[in-house]
Amino acid sequence: MASQEASATGMADEPPKVAFWNDPVKRGYIFQVILFFVVAFLIYEAATNAIENLTKQKIASGFGFWNVTAGFDIGQRLIEYSNTSSYGRAFWVGLLNTLLVASIGIVLATFLGFIVGIARLSKNWLVQKIATVYVELIRNTPLLLQLLFWYNAVLKALPEVRDSAALPGGAFLNNRGLFMPDPTFGPNFNYVTIALVLGLIGYVIYGRWAKKRQDATGEQARYLPVAIGLIVVVPLAIYFMAGQPLTLTYPNLGRFNIQGGLQVYPEFVALVVGLVIYTAAFIAEVVRAGIQAVSKGQTEASYALGLRPGPTLDLVVIPQAMRVIIPPLTSQYLNLTKNSSLAVAIGYPDLVQVFTGTVLNQTGQAVEVIAITMLVYLTISLSTSLLMNWYNSRKALVER
Amino acid sequence: MSETATLSETPVAYVRKTPAQALPPPASLVGVLGWMRQNLFSSPANSVLTIVTALFAAWAIPGFISFLLTDAVWTGADREACVAKNGVLPGACWAFVSDRLSFFIYGFYPIEQRWRVDLFFVLGAIGVAWMLWQKAPRRDIGFFYFILVLPIVSFILLRGWDLIGLTPVDTARWGGLMVTLVVAGVGIVASLPLGILLALGRRSKLPVVKFLSVMFIEFVRGVPLITVLFMANTMLPLFLPDNITVDKLLRALVGIGLFASAYMAEVVRAGLQALPKGQYEGAMAMGLGYWQMMRLIILPQALKITIPNIVNTYIGLFKDTSLLLIVGIFDFLKAIETARVDPQWAAPTTSATGYAFAAIVYFIFCYGMALYARSMERRLSVGDKR
């Protein structure tokens, strides 16, 4: 019946009129307007309440505190800082400490994670089992517990200063940290640095040239001797020619204290060890999944073409596995960076400990301090994601 | 038939008529030795690797066992039991754990009221078992019980209600494993529906909804949990009108719940994206509206394929509850931290023992969830294997 009527009235007619609350498009608009006003109202309420509460508690607002003298000390610092420096300076000290831990942690965790991930796929039963136990044990206990364990149960249990353990090379280990010889670079050391940089650039140029030649002629280049020559031998020769412009200041073991030398704080060591061991377990799983994602036919085809196991891994499996590995690997790197904020639990002066901890307590300006801290982490996260999206779009499988 | 007949009639020197006896497999491929040859010593490099790891294991494992079991102190009244005797340091101080066990579980909860916490544990265990056991009767009631009845009953039970004769217990006195389980439970129950809403919002065609969802998800996922907790702890009271005070535990719960729901949203979104478009189109062709389509067609399938990932998010959430100690909530790890420096038990091995105990407890919960996720993964992939 209905279809007859519809055909009778003709195709050109407009669709039947429906009430606006039954029209999905109009309903969508209404819903969005309501949602927008609800959210705007909540934000407005929160802001007015915050202003009211802050004036009542007589807490200053704004970023005037940035240049006020901080008045507290920070043990580990990469830039000049003393208790007469400003809060802004303390922020930079904390941020640099966070970046230091994150970059060292990322490099070490990648190494350990790839080793464990490959070990989990090993045909060697013992190696595979040990890797599995490691991954399961670490992944199923909280990172904070592991950090506290490394700091309180391992590093704080090291001997006192006067009973310091002497390590080879003039270093000392005790419960105040690791004391290493402190390198001082003479003015002539610049030549060595320049040689090193030039060597690296030269090697990259050589690599490009060699690849072009291989593409054109099929002739394989020898990379390792060139790398050793350009990056190791030449700078080393210049180092000796410049009169060995590097002197080491050895730490001196006194009765109650150690003088001189480069001190690596136990908080730093605990944080790096904890983050590396924790993140490596996750990276291992990422690597394992990536390698397993390359179908077995690829390996078999490569063998059928006459490639040996080494080149098969290098040229066939790893390039394809990396495509799967890179995105989750990046999110593990970001996790490591964000997890480094747990430093606050063991007293390592990272961004959160210095800024959201001490500075917030001293100034009471919660809104500004937390906003800045979050902005820093957001910047790191979002810029990394952008970089990764760009990389992904370059490396993604080009499909027909 | 005929061919064999002709064959047998042809004069040949010798044709074997019965199959030869199968030779035993070479000794190098079967039994313990064969297994070892294949799995441990297949090549010189592999042999070296085996020997090195075996030496490492031989060094590490006995040390672990002697610390945790054979050299451990099992009974004692105070630290005297666990200090070095005749210059020899004993192993783990389990006497400390057994002495402080009730503190680890209940915190400062009044002793005469602790049956309420026990009842909460039992009710929670019933709910979890009902949800996880695939063949349990009336799982729809179980879901209702888990998502609605259990939270309300637990709240009344733990917090107390004068009307029914339960003495109120302030949340400041809650502590230990109980708080960890409460926070994890609230996070688990709250994050799934919120996460689903956020995931739907992110995939919505309405620009305002999509924008707000994306902003929330990316913001929360871009910052560390500890800053979210700091924000909930210090800024939430500022944002609310003067006359409303929020309980400290509740503030932390809000922080953890929001944090977990952003991660849950991404997990659910992956499930939504994995469904073929035909499912959406089919549902629309049937004349279903948006919410009907989601409730009846899309979400049941999308959630089912993401169960393993949802459980993995729960594992992360459970581990993340330990961060509460930084904002001053007395959770399980905080109870361990407090007890290990208590002078009554402070001995050289107390800290390591406390951490070992905490690790075992966290491991049991997290590994249990991981095993469940794995079994679900196997069960879900049965259909694909055929």
- In chain B, residues under CATH classification 1.10.3720.10 are 100-109+169-385
For chains A and B, count residue pairs whose Cβ atoms are closer than 8 Å. Answer: 158
Tokens at A234, concatenated: 């030449």
Q: Decide if pLDDT at A1 tops 50.
A: no
Q: Which burial class, exposed, middle or buried, applies to A359 when counting CB atoms under 10 A from its CB (0-12, 13-18, 19+)?
A: buried
CB contact under 8 A, A49 and B238: yes
- Is residue B128 less than 8 Å (CB to CB) from chain A? no
| Alpha carbons B46 and A188: distance in angstroms, whole number | 47
Nearest-Cα distance to chain A for B35, in Å, is 10
Q: How confident is the model at residue B8 (pLDDT cuts 50, 70, 90)?
A: low
User: pLDDT digits over B164-223, tens only?
Assistant: 878 888 888 888 999 999 999 999 989 999 999 999 999 888 889 999 999 999 999 999
- Is residue B44 less than 8 Å (CB to CB) from chain A? no
DSSP code of residue A317 = I
User: pLDDT digits over A128-161, tens only?
Assistant: 999 999 999 999 999 999 999 999 888 888 887 7
pLDDT at A80: 81
On chain B, the residues whose CB falls within 8 A of the CB of A130 are 53, 56-57
Tokens at B349, concatenated: 């091995």
Q: Which residues contact B70 (CB under 8 A, 6 or more apart)?
A: B91
- 261-290 of B, contacting A, C-beta below 8 A: 290
Residue with tokens 């039992």, as numbered in its chain:
B122
| Alpha carbons B336 and B256: distance in angstroms, whole number | 21
On chain A, the residues whose CB falls within 8 A of the CB of B44 are none
Angle, CA of B130, B133 and B137, to the nearest 5°: 60
Q: How confident is the model at residue A313 (pLDDT cuts 50, 70, 90)?
A: confident
User: pLDDT digits over A154-195, tens only?
Assistant: 888 888 777 777 777 777 888 888 888 888 787 778 888 888
On chain B, the residues whose CB falls within 8 A of the CB of A339 are 224
Kindly state the average pLDDT of the residues B243-257.
87
Q: Decide if pLDDT at A199 tops 60.
A: yes
Q: How confident is the model at residue A341 (pLDDT cuts 50, 70, 90)?
A: very high
Residue with tokens 């991930």, as numbered in its chain:
A117
Of B241, B355, B367, the CB nearest to A145: B355
| Alpha carbons B89 and B67: distance in angstroms, whole number | 10
pLDDT at A13: 61
| Alpha carbons A277 and A139: distance in angstroms, whole number | 10
Q: Decide if pLDDT at B1 tops 50.
A: no
On chain A, the residues whose CB falls within 8 A of the CB of B57 are 126, 130
Tokens at B179, concatenated: 């708080």
Nearest-Cα distance to chain B for A369, in Å, is 10
pTM listed for this prediction = 0.86
Q: A27, A48, A101, A126: best mutation site toward chain B, by most B Cβ within 10 Å?
A: A126
On chain B, the residues whose CB falls within 8 A of the CB of A342 are 226, 323, 326
Residue B294 backbone zone (phi > 0: left; psi -120 to 50: alpha; other: beta): alpha
pLDDT at A218: 81
| Alpha carbons B248 and A72: distance in angstroms, whole number | 28
| Alpha carbons A87 and B366: distance in angstroms, whole number | 41
| Alpha carbons B114 and A170: distance in angstroms, whole number | 57
CB contact under 8 A, B208 and A36: yes
Q: Which residues contact B23 (CB under 8 A, 6 or more apart)?
A: none
pLDDT at A7: 47
In this structure, chain A runs to a length of 400
User: Cα B232 vs. chain centroid, distance in angstroms?
Assistant: 24
On chain A, the residues whose CB falls within 8 A of the CB of B370 are 136, 139-140
B115-121, Cβ contacts within 8 angstroms, sequence gap of 24 or more: B116/B157, B116/B158, B116/B160, B116/B166, B117/B158, B117/B178, B119/B157, B120/B154, B120/B157, B120/B158, B120/B178, B121/B178, B121/B181
| DSSP labels, A59-118 | ---SSGGGGSB-----SS-SS---TTSBHHHHHHHHHHHHHHHHHHHHHHHHHHHHHHHH
pLDDT at A2: 46
Of B212, B235, B326, the CB nearest to A345: B326
pLDDT at B170: 84
Domain A112-181+250-351: give its CATH code.
1.10.3720.10
Q: Decide if pLDDT at B160 tops 80.
A: yes
pLDDT at A283: 95
Q: Where are the domains of chain A?
A: 16-51, 112-181+250-351
Residue of A nearest to B53 (CA): A127
In one letter, which amino acid is B368?
G
Tokens at A161, concatenated: 């200063």
On chain A, the residues whose CB falls within 8 A of the CB of B326 are 144, 342, 344-345
| A369, A354 Cβ separation under 8 angstroms | no
| DSSP labels, B188-248 | HHHHHHHHHHHHHHHT-S-HHHHHHHHHHHHHHHHS-HHHHHHIIIIIHHHHS-TT----H
| A379, A337 Cβ separation under 8 angstroms | no
On chain B, the residues whose CB falls within 8 A of the CB of A126 are 40, 50, 53-54, 57
Of A32, A360, A382, the CB nearest to B208: A32
Residue of B nearest to A39 (CA): B212
User: pLDDT digits over A222-267, tens only?
Assistant: 888 888 888 888 888 888 887 777 777 787 777 677 777 788 888 9
Q: Decide if pLDDT at B37 tops 90.
A: no
Q: Decide if pLDDT at A326 tops 80.
A: yes
| Alpha carbons B97 and A73: distance in angstroms, whole number | 38
Phi/psi for A69 (5° steps) reads: -65, 135
In one letter, which amino acid is A85?
S
Which residues, listed in sequence order, are joined to residue A336 by a DSSP beta bridge? none
CB contact under 8 A, B351 and A139: no
Nearest-Cα distance to chain B for A8, in Å, is 24
What homologous superfamily does CATH list for B100-109+169-385?
A: MetI-like (1.10.3720.10)
Nearest-Cα distance to chain A for B137, in Å, is 31
| Alpha carbons A54 and A368: distance in angstroms, whole number | 12
Crossing angle, helix A266-293 and helix A87-120, to 10 degrees? 40
What is the CB neighbour count within 10 angstroms for residue B79? 18
| Alpha carbons A86 and A94: distance in angstroms, whole number | 13
pLDDT at B383: 63
| Alpha carbons B176 and B108: distance in angstroms, whole number | 8
CB contact under 8 A, B239 and A50: yes
Q: Which residues contact B160 (CB under 8 A, 6 or more apart)?
A: B113, B116, B166, B167, B168, B169
CB contact under 8 A, B50 and A126: yes
Nearest to A138 by CA among A339, A348, A380, A377: A339
CB contact under 8 A, A142 and B320: yes
Q: A45, A141, A286, A383: best mutation site toward chain B, by most B Cβ within 10 Å?
A: A141
| Alpha carbons B130 and B187: distance in angstroms, whole number | 19
Q: Which residues contact A293 (CB under 8 A, 6 or more apart)?
A: A320, A321, A324
Residue of B nearest to A44 (CA): B239
What is the CB neighbour count within 10 angstroms for residue A386? 10
Of B218, B352, B359, the CB nearest to A141: B359
Q: Decide if pLDDT at B2 tops 70.
A: no
| B187, B257 Cβ separation under 8 angstroms | yes
On chain A, the residues whose CB falls within 8 A of the CB of B231 are 370, 374
- Is residue B224 less than 8 Å (CB to CB) from chain A? yes
DSSP code of residue A69 = B
